[in-house]
A and B are shown apart, each in its own frame.
Chain A
């Protein structure tokens, strides 16, 4: 089974997110003074061949821990978006 996943890598809470805060600071000038809590991360789409969803999640988790995210400054989340025959 081929699992289609979306991995989201984002800054860990408490870490500076200068990109997010700069975007947020620009919003009032654009008329969006009701928007707050802006943070910027990465979205990575990938497909993984695995016998079941549990295994797919474990494989992707390992990939994130060792490569896609830097645990010193980042955390990750994943969504399994769908499956296709491999």
Chain B
């Protein structure tokens, strides 16, 4: 029994079909959920995809946070449901305070569109459950505001609790502590700047993303979240 992945679509989202395609490639089922809806249609996981939700006006994710569907996403997350935000989706999740910190402009002030080498630094999230810590993957990055920042106490807490899910091997954007992805305390809400969904098919230049999307589908099947390292 495979569960269903709901992919939220805001005005300005542009990676939703990539996620649907990647999930299908890996044998899962995915469907789109318009941001104006007030229900999630009983899906077993939610992905907030990349793009420019509401035009990124004010700040990336600032307006998306108030879309009607976000109340349901918040409720789903509080119940332990898997929620993954990719790129703009990560920005939405930090603005919605479902994840700590914020994403600033890249330190070099350039829009970055390139492959990035990354290291899995925690297996305690729905996106990395069952993936060996230390595993390296190459995934596309495609962002202007990917420079992760948080106050020192929050950064220390993320480190101590094993909540830094992914780190850049070579920091491309100035992110604090090379952070490319983090999760919440329970590990069921994850945000990351790189795009695993764009690396699930050899035709697209790589399949390293399949290990992460596959882990999410595993979490969807089991709704079990692995324990984080102490």
Residues of B within 8 A of A (CB): 58-59, 62, 66, 94-95, 101-102, 104-109, 147, 149-151, 174
Contacts and interface: CB of A to CB of B under 8 A. Distances in A.
A18 B109 contact: yes
A72 B150 contact: yes
Interface string A1-45: 000000000000001101100100000000000000000000000
Contact of B58 (A16, A22, A68): A68
A73 interface: yes
Contacts of B108: 18
A70 B95 contact: yes
Nearest to A42: B58
Contacts, number: 35
B107 A73 contact: no
B109 A19 contact: yes
B102 A70 contact: yes
B106 A72 contact: no
A13 B105 CA distance: 15
Given A15-B149, A18-B174, A72-B94, 8 more contacts: A16-B149, A18-B105, A18-B107, A67-B62, A68-B58, A72-B150, A72-B151, A73-B104
Nearest to B65: A67
A15 B174 CA distance: 12
B149 A72 contact: yes
A22 B106 CA distance: 12
Contacts of A70: 59, 62, 95, 102
A40 to B, nearest CB: 10
Nearest to B94: A72
